Amino acid sequence: MHLDDTTSAAVLEQLRRRPAADRRILFTGATLVTMDPALGVLDRGDLLVEGDTVTAVGPRLSAGDAVVVDVTGCVLTPGFVDTHRHAWETQLRRIMPDVDDLGGYVMSTLAGYATVYRPEDMYTGTRLAALTALDSGITTMLDFSHNSRTPAHSDAAIEALRDTGVRGVHASMGPHFGEWDRQWPGDLTRLRDQYFRSDDHLLTLRLATLATDEVAGPALAYGPELARVAQELNIGVSVDAVFGTASSEAILRWAEDGVLGPDVTLIHATGLTPQAWKVMGETGATVALAPTSDAQIGLETAIPAVDEALSAGIRPGLSIDVEVALASDMFTQMRALHTIQRMRAVNAAYGTGRQPRRITTHDVLDFATLQGARTNGLAGVTGSLTPGKKADLLVIRAEDLNNMPLNDPIGTVVLGSDARNISAVLVNGEPRKWDGRVLDVDLTALRDEVHASRAYVRNAFKDTAAA
């Protein structure tokens, strides 16, 4: 049965009739881009999903009682992994597309709109972000949820991730500005016990924090005290706004204090000193780049720090950041980084006789999948089509008008494809997009909810500003 022929609805119905734990799906005839260094690319192969797990990859696998899905003419890849997105803001997407600098974003969004958000607005924004992520092939999304004004705000953000079926990482932080309950970080214990006791990794918890006290004061700045909180809860740490001299000095202090390591992700990492990069590499810290955010908003040098990361021995993950000004999808991040780095490499070597050191499409796809999973603390769970990992995967049509003919599968995914080419998305073995349509979403109701939330936030902010 071909995924996009008239039988696709029947195939989906057949899959969903089976209990999830007993479900077996055999995808046949695809080009498999596994992103597993040992498996590589299979020009024509099969992939078997049993329950929530990839159990076999190879040519001509035995189907047994599996539902067979013919995906000839398609590329199968791991789902993309977003390492940093402020999901609560999504009903304000592209409200400031030409923002001039970080200060403009901070004052309008964090010191403005954020202060009037209700828990239901947190839910709406986060749910919209997660559904959009699934539509564009992002199966894992780290929500850097830095508007946790009350316990109810945090609950709403987590419940939105759960209700969409995305593999969600809730990174919790208190707000920068305005009135809030001051329940963070103490409330993290309750969140862990209420939402994250399961070991299935579909939802995981992290502590979110800032690099320095320059914007929001010392309570939100990373250091030994917050590191102790994360250690006691056995969760990772995601540190945002890591750029410039002040962050470089903080990184050296963290290394000296023993609170910098593989469980700490540094976001952006633009404009850092060589000394900071050296200790980041030595301690095994991970890095989440935000290619369009750095370049478009103009954060420090405005150049995504991929060369610095690679020179330090760090293969970074990629992220979306803020939809108030930026694109929502991972294809844009991969292309932006690929283009910017290669432009810089050739420009630096121009007229010197040196060979430019250029990254490849394979590199950026690795950053968007396997390295993103490692950055989010999920390297053993997702990020590659490796038997034993969870079945987070994409079926991408390679013979659509904008992709045909298939010559290089990785080049096709990175440079040719977009959300319209994604025929199916599975998360944890569960179909979340099928035949090009996100499942289990009433778009009319969602649209009404999003518009109502946006209207409330904008009007409430206007009333507050006028008072």
Please state at what angle helix 361-368 crosses helix 330-349, rounded to 10 degrees. 140
> For residue 217, what pLDDT band results from cuts at 50, 70 and 90?
confident
Angle at 263 between CA 261 and CA 265, to 5 degrees: 90
Mean pLDDT of 80-92: 98
Say yes or no to pLDDT of 199 above 90. Answer: no
- The SS3 assignment for 80 reads strand
> For residue 5, what pLDDT band results from cuts at 50, 70 and 90?
low
Mean pLDDT of 395-405: 97
Say yes or no to pLDDT of 52 above 90. Answer: yes
CATH entry, 8-78+383-435, from 1.20.140.10, 1.20.1440.230, 2.30.40.10, 2.60.120.10: 2.30.40.10
| Chain CA centroid to CA 301, Å | 23
Domain 80-375 is classified in which CATH homologous superfamily?
A: Metal-dependent hydrolases (3.20.20.140)
- Show Cβ contacts of residue 320 under 8 Å, excluding neighbours closer than 6 positions: 82, 84, 85, 290, 292, 326, 327, 328, 329, 330, 333
State both tokens at 257: 């204090």
State both tokens at 382: 């997702």
Residues 340/127, Cβ–Cβ less than 8 Å: no
Say yes or no to pLDDT of 232 above 80. Answer: yes
- Show Cβ contacts of residue 327 under 8 Å, excluding neighbours closer than 6 positions: 292, 320, 333
DSSP state of 89: G
Say yes or no to pLDDT of 466 above 80. Answer: no
Cα separation, 447 vs 459, in Å, equals 18
Q: Which of 11-20, 81-90, 258-267, 376-385 has the lowest mean pLDDT?
A: 11-20
Mean pLDDT of 302-315: 98
CA atoms within 13 A on the CB side of 451: 6
Across 300-329, b (16+ Cβ under 10 Å) vs e yields beebbbbebbbebebbbbbbbbbbbbbbbb
Which string of DSSP letters, residue by residue, matches 210-275? ES-STTT-GGGB-SHHHHHHHHHHT-EEEEEEEEHHHHHHHHHHHHHHT--STTEEEEEEET--HH
Q: What is the signed CA dihedral for 351, 354, 359, 361, rounded to 10 degrees?
A: 70
- Please measure the distance between the N-terminal and C-terminal CA atoms of the chain and give it in whole angstroms: 62
Cα separation, 279 vs 211, in Å, equals 15
pLDDT of residue 80: 99
pLDDT of residue 201: 80
Cα separation, 24 vs 26, in Å, equals 7
Give pLDDT tens digits for 332-381: 999 999 999 999 999 999 999 999 999 999 999 999 999 999 999 999 99
pLDDT of residue 7: 66
Give pLDDT tens digits for 146-197: 999 999 999 999 999 999 999 999 999 999 999 999 999 999 999 999 999 8
β partners of residue 266: 239, 287
62 sits in the region (left: phi over 0; alpha: psi -120 to 50; else beta) called beta
Residue 80: phi and psi, rounded to 5, are: -75, 155
Contacts 24+ apart (CB under 8 A), 41-44: 41/409, 41/410
| Chain CA centroid to CA 119, Å | 22
pLDDT of residue 1: 39
Say yes or no to pLDDT of 415 above 80. Answer: yes
pLDDT of residue 3: 55
pLDDT of residue 215: 81
Mean pLDDT of 381-403: 98
Mean pLDDT estimate for the chain: 95
Say yes or no to pLDDT of 63 above 90. Answer: no
pLDDT of residue 464: 84
Q: Any idea where the domains of the chain sit in the sequence?
A: 8-78+383-435, 80-375
Give pLDDT tens digits for 33-43: 999 999 999 99
Cα separation, 99 vs 105, in Å, equals 7
Which string of DSSP letters, residue by residue, matches 410-459? HHIIIII--GGGEEEEEETTEEEEETTEESS--HHHHHHHHHHHHHHHHH
Mean pLDDT of 16-32: 93
